[in-house]
Structure 1
Amino acid sequence: MTEDVLHPICQQILNFCQQHLGNKNLTLAYSGGVDSQVLLHAVAQLRKAELLTNKINAVHINHGLSVNASKWASFCQQQAKQLSISYTSITVDINKQSQQSLEALARDARYKALNQACSNDSVIFTGHHLDDQVETFLLALKRGAGVQGLSAMQTIRPLANSEPEKNIQLARPLLNINREDIEQYAREHDLQWVEDDSNSDVRFDRNFIRAQILPLLKQRWPAINQTIARSAQHCEQAQHLLEQLAIVDLQNCQLSSDSLSIAKMASLSTDRFNNLLRHFIRVNGGLMPSKQQVAQVYNACFEAADDKNPHISLHQYSLRRFADALYFTPNYADISQWQLTLSLAPLVNEVIELPDGLGQLTLQRVINNTDLGTSDTDKFSTIIAIPRSSEQLSIGFKHDNPKCWPTYRDKRRPLKKLLQEHGVATWLRNRLPFIFIDNELAAVLPLFTCREFICKEFTSSESKDNKLANKQLIEQEQTLYLKITWLNV
């Protein structure tokens, strides 16, 4: 065994691998900076000594944000080759968007690329160290974060936004090692690394803390790194307890994967409600709301009038109250103006793509029983009878509240009332396809077909032997029979 692998940093990585890596593939997030350079070198020494036998791949992400980006990628390729480590370089395109910092965009693009580069059952190692942890804690403190944010970085966790079946974890084996020790390792082994000139720009908060705040803190309290890291661990433990409590409350209050019972949440204290709400949003993939937004949701649940259906838009999703439940929904596009009109004369078969991910509608002339097809759990089908004198069929999502006469009612009722009777949530009422024949409402999918357009010959309660099956007879009828199927309803 060489002297190199006895170095404390190599031993730290070896112990970490023995605890967490197993037989999984190892992906090194390799920027070429001193931290990832030391990580790459130490891993290479462990493999050379046959203490690490896993498949290893160093992945460099070229963000294209520096004029030196191509040089860094070439340097990383050369270093990996010298150490006999498999190497991959990925270039990402970062488009500046509102309300996101360049640092956040680069981070998101980096982890997305790493996820794509990883095979199933992989662990990604990053070079984050103790000073990074302290900086992250102070940044969270500056933002007024709670215990989740003050937990800073975890040693190992599932990779965010990765497909669960890929089973990819993000790990930081150097998280309890000081920057000074990492730089000392690099000097002892005559390592080269790249210096990102943006790291000295104190306009960035992290660089400001690193260059101007931490040196003062360390001068006053030399062990400040360790004490802040200990506070982060306490916050992480507190967050775990809050998550366990939220799981209990979620099991009691959950109506479905995306809805909660307001009546059951009413028995919770305000703090437990807030904790449950954040957990509910997190498990549904939403970004964490601010304290003010959480208060808005609380007011919507318990202080808004019963006949109101408040809606709070948060980032890319919404929280909506309806019928004593709180729902987590996307921010749907306005599709009220979408409409498609078809001539009935040549209509035989049509496949129509509905807007905003609502699936497809298929229109099929019914000539005989074989046209009926078979039932399918992800489809809704109805057959409407259309007078041959009719000229147009229209599909849309907007109506002027006409009076309708479904077969299950003894008289006509306004469409708005019928939608209420069916318990259709307010935000979904303009997302149901309305079928019009010559501007007269014929069906509301998937709820009902209006009495005037009911097809008696092809009702599902009749046997096939009794259904109209003679093609010639159908063609002589004064009625056009049209099967409408909504896929992925």
Structure 2
Amino acid sequence: MTNPPPWQNVRDAIESAWPASGYRDLGVVVGCSGGADSVALLRSLVESVRQPAAPSPPRGFLVVAHFNHQFRGRESHADAEFVRQLAGQLAVPLETECGQGAEQDEESARNDRREFFRTVMRRHGARYLALGHSRDDNVETVLYRLMRGTGPAGMAGIASFRPFSDDPSGSDFVIARPMLDLGRDQIREALRSINAPWRDDASNRSNAYRRNWIRNELLPTMQSQFPQAVPAIARAIQGQRQWLDALQPVIDRWLATVQIREKPLTLRRLDRIGGEAETELTATPLRDQAVAIEALRRCWQRSGWPLRDMGQFHWTRVFEMLCGRGPDALTLPGAVEIRRDPESLTLVRRH
């Protein structure tokens, strides 16, 4: 029995993670940088939507979205031209936008690109934003978080599907990442097998960005001693993701018991909760630090507050305040101020 060709393996993996029946009648914006991962994702989705064996024509649509940061001058414009030609070849509408071209940190660049995607989704009435993150991206993300002192949820890596944002303007949109089980080398081999070109970003070889250092220096060093480090870490991430998914109903119950109001965010002190709520502690472990921290993280997301600089140390400080320990006032990264009164905590972000 012969093995399926490399491109078919990639197609099958994407279809398994995200069956075409789930999006072919809806709108999908596909973020495409011109790199191998996003090119493979775009080609796969186009082929899946246009399958001749489908019982009926698709009622949905695909749109390609390319954000040109203009960081690399001619190379950036060549990437944009490559995506324009690819979209034309595949007969898929294209949306593009250019950034300022000035040097930015990773988070600012990501925010600019994210706002562009949000605008494109609104304009077209799309439901999904499809992004081509691979298994290697997931492993690099977890290593990055680990070195910043992440908690258990950070070790769960990138979610395959998640709301675009928790604020009302983005809650109807869903980010889909159906390539998290595919390795970077596997994706490139598949594209070569069908003579499909892609663009290589030379800036990925620079270690100016920490994620690039993880990719170019840390992981190769790890693999010199543990050749299967990437798939092994990926399996650990999958276990953490299953743990986090199982925890979601518990977090829902915690918030239902503890949160008084959303604006301003006000939470009951855990050391003041008693009576009927106390009898439900076995079902809702209010004083379990892991549950509380993941619930607090959700509050941050809903409020649109920055999570990047919130390490495990900061979450632990907030949990201690909820339990009646530590100071009565605290300022956290992102200018989030917490004040504790006899019955509750109030959290406000100062701009």
TM-score, with length taken from structure 2: 0.80
Alpha-carbon deviation of 1:32? 0.6
Whole-Å Cα distance in 2 between the matches of residues 233 and 65 of structure 1?
34
Alpha-carbon deviation of 1:245? 2.7
Residue number among 320, 325, 328 corresponding to 2:339 in the alignment? 320
Q: CA distance change for structure 1 residues 225 and 44 in 2, over 3 Å: closer, same or farther?
A: same
Q: CA distance change for structure 1 residues 29 and 220 in 2, over 3 Å: closer, same or farther?
A: same
Aligned to 1:115: 118
Q: CA distance change for structure 1 residues 22 and 188 in 2, over 3 Å: closer, same or farther?
A: closer
Aligned to 2:46: 44
Are residue 269 (structure 1) and residue 277 (structure 2) matched?
no
Q: CA distance change for structure 1 residues 48 and 19 in 2, over 3 Å: closer, same or farther?
A: closer
Alpha-carbon deviation of 1:39? 1.9
Aligned to 1:465: none
Higher strand share: 1
Which 5+ residue runs of structure 1 have no aligned equivalent?
Answer: 333-489
Aligned to 1:65: 71
Higher helix share: 2
**Partner SS state of residue 337, structure 2:** strand
Residue number among 293, 296, 300 corresponding to 2:314 in the alignment? 293
Alpha-carbon deviation of 1:192? 2.0
**Aligned CA-pair RMSD:** 3.0
Aligned to 2:282: none
Aligned to 1:454: none
Post-superposition Cα deviations, 1:444-464, rounded to whole Å, max 9, x if no partner, equal: xxxxxxxxxxxxxxxxxxxxx
Aligned to 2:283: none
| Residues paired across the two proteins, number | 323
Are residue 131 (structure 1) and residue 131 (structure 2) matched?
no
Aligned to 1:345: none
Conserved in 2, the CA contact under 8 Å of 1:121 and 1:167?
no
Aligned to 1:105: 108
Whole-Å Cα distance in 2 between the matches of residues 5 and 211 of structure 1?
25
Whole-Å Cα distance in 1 between the matches of residues 166 and 296 of structure 2?
20
Q: CA distance change for structure 1 residues 23 and 264 in 2, over 3 Å: closer, same or farther?
A: farther
Post-superposition Cα deviations, 1:167-189, rounded to whole Å, max 9, x if no partner, equal: 21111111111111111122112
Conserved in 2, the CA contact under 8 Å of 1:58 and 1:80?
yes
Conserved in 1, the CA contact under 8 Å of 2:336 and 2:350?
yes
Whole-Å Cα distance in 2 between the matches of residues 127 and 89 of structure 1?
17
Q: CA distance change for structure 1 residues 10 and 280 in 2, over 3 Å: closer, same or farther?
A: closer
| Matched AA of 1:324 | E
Post-superposition Cα deviations, 1:420-453, rounded to whole Å, max 9, x if no partner, equal: xxxxxxxxxxxxxxxxxxxxxxxxxxxxxxxxxx
Whole-Å Cα distance in 1 between the matches of residues 88 and 316 of structure 2?
55
Residue number among 227, 236, 243 corresponding to 2:232 in the alignment? 227
Identity percentage over the alignment? 22
Aligned to 1:10: 11
Whole-Å Cα distance in 2 between the matches of residues 319 and 95 of structure 1?
35
Which 5+ residue runs of structure 2 have no aligned equivalent?
Answer: 279-285
**Partner SS state of residue 28, structure 1:** strand
Alpha-carbon deviation of 1:298? 4.9
Q: How does 1:145-294 map onto structure 2 within 5 Å?
A: 145-160=150-165, 163=168, 167-257=172-262, 258-262=265-269, 263-264=271-272, 268-269=286-287, 271=289, 273-288=292-307, 289-294=310-315
Post-superposition Cα deviations, 1:200-243, rounded to whole Å, max 9, x if no partner, equal: 01232222222233334445444332221111112122223444
Q: CA distance change for structure 1 residues 168 and 138 in 2, over 3 Å: closer, same or farther?
A: same
Q: CA distance change for structure 1 residues 256 and 200 in 2, over 3 Å: closer, same or farther?
A: same
User: Comparing both chains, which one has the higher relative contact order based on Cα–Cα distances under 8 Å and sequence gaps of 6 or more?
Assistant: 2
Alpha-carbon deviation of 1:56? 0.8
